[in-house]
Amino acid sequence: MFTRIAQSLTVLFMIACLAVTACVGPALGEPKVLTGLDVMQRDGFEALKGRRVGLVTNHSGINRSGEHVLDLMHGSPNVELVAIFTPEHGIRGEADRGVDSGVDETTGLTIHSLYGKTRKPTDEMLEGIDTLVFDIQDIGARFYTYIGTLGECMAAAARRGIKVYVLDRPNPLGGDTFDGPIQDDDLVGRFTSFKLMPTTHGMTVGEIALLFNGAYGIGCELEVVKCEGWERGVMFDETGLPWVNPSPNMRSVNEEIIYTMVALTEANKDLSVGRGTDRPFEYLGAPWVDGDALTAELRSRDLPGIWVMRTTFIPSGTDISGRENYPYQYIGEVCQGVRFVVTDRRAVRPVEAGVHMLDALLKVHPERYKVDNLRGLVGAQWVLDALKAREPVEDIVKRWRESQGFKDFAEARRQVLLYE
């Protein structure tokens, strides 16, 4: 199955890369960076020789030529694949609901879903496996579920004495900064809040694995296969690596940046965050929103690196591939609201901007907009209480940046960083 999928995706990746190169110059298409997969492939997968491997991956597990890790490992004499594990959105990255387990048509291997009946590898799934290889592209946000899958796989491996290899990939937002409140203790352990960290973590998956394993005590046998050529200030579309949507509604680096802002309100089902449109997370609105007033209020805050424009949009009920999807908010209805346009990616402070967004909605629509159910995404009840009390956003941001939890994370993070 995946061989045919990968061949089709490879063509699409190359077309996309050519299109991007045409826009910004030929240097972007050059392979400046090697992922952990590229490095392990170059070394002939020698580290996996004699091991019985469970592969944790999805459609994003590709090398710099667009070839998929499953095909590469299946074709290597040094790799004995036993089973495949896949996260939210499934092996093809197309599902926006729960994911079923299945069988890979090419290899005959079982594909175990870690976003269906269970989100943890069970003892039965791990039978006969002595090594897990994790190769999935993260986007840099605490509540993006792929790092929850990583943590659960590491914890399961620790219990059974299974070695874990993490094939590292760049943080697409770069790795210089992190921001946001440290979440409440009772939220820790949830799939979107696996361990204590701010909203954006500024780390690669390999660095997160080291953090989970050391500071947070998972304690599995872990080896990170580092990227080569990546520097912390480099965003994904500056690496020369082929772009693949990490999930159906994540279609560019700019959308990944905006995601860590706009998704803070996604648990409020009374708003659309642009799902079901051609610009998910760039749009925010609803039929009841006063788009003019919200635009004026957000513009008055001079959010660095972001331009706010008045817009109207109509969500559909299908995904990027035209398949029927779960019901998005306000399907077929005219939504009034705003569009967020990134004008300077390195100036944007998305989590801070997100709190301004919540505050602006409370100011413009005090009777309609509510933040009470946003704790799981925002992460801290005190932030919601401060917003409802109309405390200045600047004071809220200063409070989390000066908190002991934020400082503790900064130090733990510093100790596991792998790249300059």
3-state SS assignment for residue 309: strand
Q: Does the structure show a pLDDT above 50 at 17?
A: no
- What is the predicted pLDDT for the residue at 371? 97
- What is the predicted pLDDT for the residue at 117? 87
- Reported confidence tier of residue 270, pLDDT bands at 50, 70, 90: very high
Gyration radius of the chain's alpha carbons: 21
> Measured between alpha carbons, how far is 58 from 46 in angstroms, rounded to an integer?
22
Return the closest-CA partner of residue 255 out of 183, 339, 161, 327.
339
Return the number of other C-beta atoms located less than 10 Å from residue 42's C-beta. 11
Q: pLDDT tens-digit profile of 45-81?
A: 999 999 999 999 999 999 999 999 999 999 999 999 9
2-238 with 253-389: one CATH topology?
no
Report the relative pairing of strands 102-103 and 110-113 from DSSP bridges.
antiparallel
How would you class 293 by CB atoms within 10 Å of its CB: exposed for 0-12, middle for 13-18, buried for 19 or more? middle
The dihedrals phi and psi of 4, each to the nearest 5 degrees, come to -65, -40
CATH code of 2-238, in short, is 3.40.50.12170
Distance in angstroms between the alpha carbons of the first and the last residue of the chain: 39
- Reported confidence tier of residue 280, pLDDT bands at 50, 70, 90: very high
- Reported confidence tier of residue 101, pLDDT bands at 50, 70, 90: confident
The Cβ-side half-sphere exposure at 280, using a 13 Å CA radius, reads 22
Ranges 62-71, 94-103, 397-406: which has the least confidence: 94-103
β-pair partners for 167: 225
> Measured between alpha carbons, how far is 289 from 281 in angstroms, rounded to an integer?
16
Question: Is there a contact between 146 and 119 (Cβ–Cβ < 8 Å)?
Answer: no
How would you class 320 by CB atoms within 10 Å of its CB: exposed for 0-12, middle for 13-18, buried for 19 or more? middle
CA distances (Å), origin 392, targets 71, 74, 305, 358, 385: 53, 56, 21, 12, 12
β-pair partners for 310: 338
> Measured between alpha carbons, how far is 298 from 302 in angstroms, rounded to an integer?
7
The stretch 84-98 carries a mean pLDDT of 73
3-state SS assignment for residue 22: helix
Question: Is there a contact between 181 and 407 (Cβ–Cβ < 8 Å)?
Answer: no
Q: Does the structure show a pLDDT above 50 at 15?
A: no
Q: Does the structure show a pLDDT above 70 at 1?
A: no
3-state SS assignment for residue 245: coil
Give the domain 253-389 fold: Aspartate Aminotransferase, domain 1 (3.90.1150)
- Reported confidence tier of residue 300, pLDDT bands at 50, 70, 90: very high
Ranges 3-7, 76-80, 190-194, 313-317: which has the least confidence: 3-7
Question: In the block, which residue shows the tokens 């990583």?
Answer: 150
pTM: 0.89
Structure tokens at 82: 């036993």
Domain-by-domain residue ranges, the chain?
2-238, 253-389
How much of the chain exceeds pLDDT 70, in percent? 88
Q: Does the structure show a pLDDT above 90 at 163?
A: yes
Q: 412: which residues sit within 8 A by CB, 6+ positions away?
A: 211, 215
Q: Does the structure show a pLDDT above 50 at 8?
A: no
Question: In the block, which residue shows the tokens 């090398």?
Answer: 63
3-state SS assignment for residue 128: coil
Structure tokens at 409: 């994370």
> Measured between alpha carbons, how far is 239 from 235 in angstroms, rounded to an integer?
7
The dihedrals phi and psi of 246, each to the nearest 5 degrees, come to -60, -25
Report the relative pairing of strands 306-313 and 80-86 from DSSP bridges.
unpaired
Per DSSP, helices labelled H in 214-268 are 253-262
CA angle 87, 147, 183 (to 5 degrees): 130
Question: Is there a contact between 111 and 86 (Cβ–Cβ < 8 Å)?
Answer: yes
How much of the chain exceeds pLDDT 90, in percent? 81
3-state SS assignment for residue 36: helix
Question: Is there a contact between 356 and 395 (Cβ–Cβ < 8 Å)?
Answer: no
> Measured between alpha carbons, how far is 293 from 55 in angstroms, rounded to an integer?
50
> Measured between alpha carbons, how far is 88 from 90 in angstroms, rounded to an integer?
5
Question: In the block, which residue shows the tokens 């004995």?
Answer: 80
Return the closest-CA partner of residue 142 out of 214, 185, 192, 211.
192
Question: Is there a contact between 129 and 165 (Cβ–Cβ < 8 Å)?
Answer: no
Widest Cα–Cα separation across the chain: 64
Residues in the chain: 420
